[in-house]
Amino acid sequence: MKKLLTIAVAILVLAPTLIGCRKWNDVWGAASSGETGSLQWKLHKKTGVLAINGNGEMPDYSWAPFMGSPWRASNDKIKKIIIGEGVTTIGNFAFSNCTNLTGVTIPASMSEIGMRNCPTLTSITVLATVPPTISTDFDFQVEDDILYVPVGYVEAYKTHETWSAAFADIVEIR
């Protein structure tokens, strides 16, 4: 009888939450904006654009789904990422498992990139005239990926050991 009562109470407590939710992300409170370290982020759900702004470093995250970035519950909605001027690093696993991500724009202020596991990414635009350091774990599916860089700086990226190894196609932003 005690076990039955416990189950009944659990159902009564959880039912309003579960009935009002369209999917599990809503149960866990999939936020569309927030803070991470000294940075602010906002996901525009209609366009799939994740904007990250502020000054300073983005923290490293874990590959584990429950310990990842603060936007991890919406990873499947992110199509493009725009990182604002003032952000200096991209943390490891920041965009891991963003299954629809096709493009990232990186500001001139960027000094280090630690991105991993972005299988659908096809282009990166880097506005930095000095090629940022890339984590040794940098792993894109880069056979057909394009790296866009500022006018006059293609050679700097082509002669940079890590960038030239990661991208066969490095072109100027037009």
Number of alpha helices (DSSP H) and beta strands (DSSP E) in the chain: 4, 12
Q: Per residue in 89-109, pLDDT tens? A: 998 888 888 889 999 999 999
CATH for 31-172 is: 3.80.10.10
Residue 117 CA to residue 170 CA, distance in Å, equals: 21
Sheet holding 112-113, edge to edge: 56-57, 87-90, 112-113, 133-134
What are the phi and psi torsion angles at 163 (to 5°)? -65, -40
pTM over 0.75: yes
How many Cα atoms within 13 Å fall on the side-chain side of residue 147? 26
Q: What is the per-residue pLDDT across 128-138, written as a single tens digit (0 to 9) for each?
A: 999 998 876 66
Torsion over CA: 165, 65, 77, 92 (sign) = negative
pLDDT in tens, 122-158: 889 999 999 998 876 665 555 568 899 999 999 999 9
Do the Cβ atoms of 100 and 77 come closer than 8 Å? Answer: yes
